[in-house]
């Protein structure tokens, strides 16, 4: 018996809008509605409705002379897609190295709204290990990856985001107020890394460092996570330079130049200076 044909779910209006949008990267000077109609083969009245909708959504801009150009929404979407495609692939060698050095679980996360999402995970080879899965989201306020991302947000963005966080205590160690979080983030920024001392889950500890993209923004972080019985405060401090150096190496792979950022340069110097000592002290 022949297999039934695969359903395609074609949405004609959506396909037309996307085809119109695809015309603009080929025209640096922009396009008028009449030109779009000619290139797409659609009536001018139909093209006009699409152009108005695309403009209102930010995907197109219209000049005073009626010429349309790609809008900021296209720029943001393209860079977000590029970053998310590249960061996992470019990070993997450094994540594997960190996994080998520490023998603990390694996570790579990106910010998504008020959460951090695991986009890569390397398990610990130890019999006692933590449970997590790629695609899971965790709160920003009580995780190491979340706090380090928050710490490096621009001041205006951080100020607008913090009031929206729900400071729910997941454990007795969780940060429970806006004022406490603000004080804590200052410490994270000074040290260049963040710790989760059983704040999200009991018996689980973690240390995380920022990852800068080519624009100098921090929307991603990597972490080393393990059971509290293996992750004493002393060991977390010893792991700090390893995590920071891995974060800086990944950042450079993404096109980031630390020399342009005084904080990243300070972190690099501090991590480099302490790595030898940490290596001698490692458990």
| pLDDT 10s digits, 80-118 | 776 666 889 999 999 999 999 999 999 999 998 889 999
The model's confidence at residue 281, banded by pLDDT at 50, 70 and 90, is very low
Q: Among 87-101, 128-142, 175-189, 191-205, which stretch is predicted with the lowest mean pLDDT? A: 128-142
Distance CA 84, CA 108 (A): 11
The pLDDT, as a whole number, for residue 145 is 97
Q: Say which residue, 53 or 80, is predicted with more confidence.
A: 53
Find tokens 């970053």 and name the residue.
Answer: 83
Q: Pick the closest to residue 92 from 76, 103, 107, 75 (CA basis).
A: 107
- Greater confidence (154 vs 272) lies with 154
- Identify the pLDDT of residue 283: 33
Q: For the domain made up of 12-70, give the CATH fold.
A: Arc Repressor Mutant, subunit A (1.10.10)
pLDDT in tens, 205-217: 999 999 999 889 9
Q: Give the pLDDT confidence score for residue 282 in this predicted structure.
A: 34
Q: Where are the domains of the chain?
A: 12-70, 80-281
Please report which helix (H) or strand (E) contains residue 210, including its range.
strand 204-212
CA 213 to chain CA centroid, Å, is 9
10 Å Cβ neighbour count for 114? 15
The answer on pLDDT for 32 being more than 90 is: yes
CATH of domain 80-281: 3.30.450.40
List Cα–Cα distances, 48 to 15, 19, 52, 193, 244, in angstroms: 16, 14, 6, 51, 51
Minimum mean pLDDT range among 138-147, 234-243, 251-260: 251-260
pTM of this prediction?
0.67
């Amino acid at each position: 018996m022949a297999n039934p044909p695969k359903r395609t779910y074609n949405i004609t209006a959506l396909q037309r809008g996307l085809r119109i949008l695809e015309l603009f990267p080929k025209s640096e000077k922009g396009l008028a509605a009449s030109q779009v109609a000619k290139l797409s083969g659609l009536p001018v009245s139909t093209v006009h409705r699409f152009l108005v909708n695309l403009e209102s959504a930010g995907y197109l801009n219209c000049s005073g002379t009626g010429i349309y150009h790609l809008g900021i929404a296209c720029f943001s979407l393209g860079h977000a897609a590029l970053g998310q495609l590249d960061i996992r692939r470019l990070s993997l060698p450094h994540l594997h190295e960190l996994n080998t050095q520490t023998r603990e679980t390694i996570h790579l996360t990106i910010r998504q709204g008020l959460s951090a999402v695991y986009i890569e995970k390397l398990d610990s080879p130890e019999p006692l290990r933590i449970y997590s899965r790629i695609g899971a989201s965790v709160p920003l306020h009580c995780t190491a990856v979340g706090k380090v991302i928050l710490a490096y947000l621009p001041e205006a963005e951080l100020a607008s985001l913090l009031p929206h966080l729900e400071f729910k205590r997941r454990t007795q160690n969780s940060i429970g107020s806006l004022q406490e979080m603000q004080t804590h983030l200052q410490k994270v920024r000074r040290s260049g890394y963040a710790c989760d001392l059983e704040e999200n889950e009991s018996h689980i500890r973690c240390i995380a460092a920022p990852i800068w993209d080519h624009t100098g923004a921090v929307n991603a972080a990597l972490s080393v996570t393990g059971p509290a019985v293996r992750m004493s405060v002393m060991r977390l401090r010893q792991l700090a330079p390893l995590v920071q150096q891995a974060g800086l190496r990944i950042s450079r792979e993404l096109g980031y130049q630390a020399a342009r950022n005084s904080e990243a340069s300070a972190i690099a110097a501090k991590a480099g200076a302490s790595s030898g000592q940490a290596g001698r002290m490692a458990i």
